[in-house]
Amino acid sequence: DAKTTQPTSMDCAEGRAANLPCNHSTISGNEYVYWYRQIHSQGPQYIIHGLKNNETNEMASLIITEDRKSSTLILPHATLRDTAVYYCIVKRGSQGNLIFGKGTKLSVKP
């Protein structure tokens, strides 16, 4: 079973920041937080990952709380093309497989 909890769905206005929360209260010290997204019927797209520090790349920012029990993915200026299902996944560094939950369906509206 997935070790994360995410809201089923969220809406965001185009041009505004989208903040997607994820709870992972049972995360272990050697487990990373990964985010992927999946646009309808395409393969999942890697977004970002982190261990305990906040991370930023060209797609998004990842904010991890100090106790590491939750995190937030931030899309700074959402566009219609960001409409997708977003998956938050907890994975050990030595673990091969990704365990996907149901994710959050983000709808960006004009």
Partner 1 sequence: DAGVTQSPTHLIKTRGQQVTLRCSPKSGHDTVSWYQQALGQGPQFIFQYYEEEERQRGNFPDRFSGHQFPNYSSELNVNALLLGDSALYLCASSLAGPDTQYFGPGTRLTVL
Interface with partner 1 by CB under 8 A: which residues? 2, 34, 36, 41-46, 49, 87, 91-103
Which CB sits closer to partner 1, 38 or 61? 38
> Between vectors from CA 72 to CA 43 and to CA 52, what angle results, nearest 5°?
100
Cβ 42 vs Cβ 95: under 8 Å: no
- Write down the least CB distance from residue 46 to partner 1, Å: 6
Compute how many other C-beta atoms are within 10 angstroms of the C-beta atom of residue 84: 21
Which CB sits closer to partner 1, 79 or 95? 95
- Write down the least CB distance from residue 33 to partner 1, Å: 12
Which CB sits closer to partner 1, 34 or 78? 34
Among 20, 25, 40, 30, which residue's Cα sits nearest to residue 88?
20
- Write down the least CB distance from residue 13 to partner 1, Å: 26
* Token pair recorded at residue 80: 């219609």
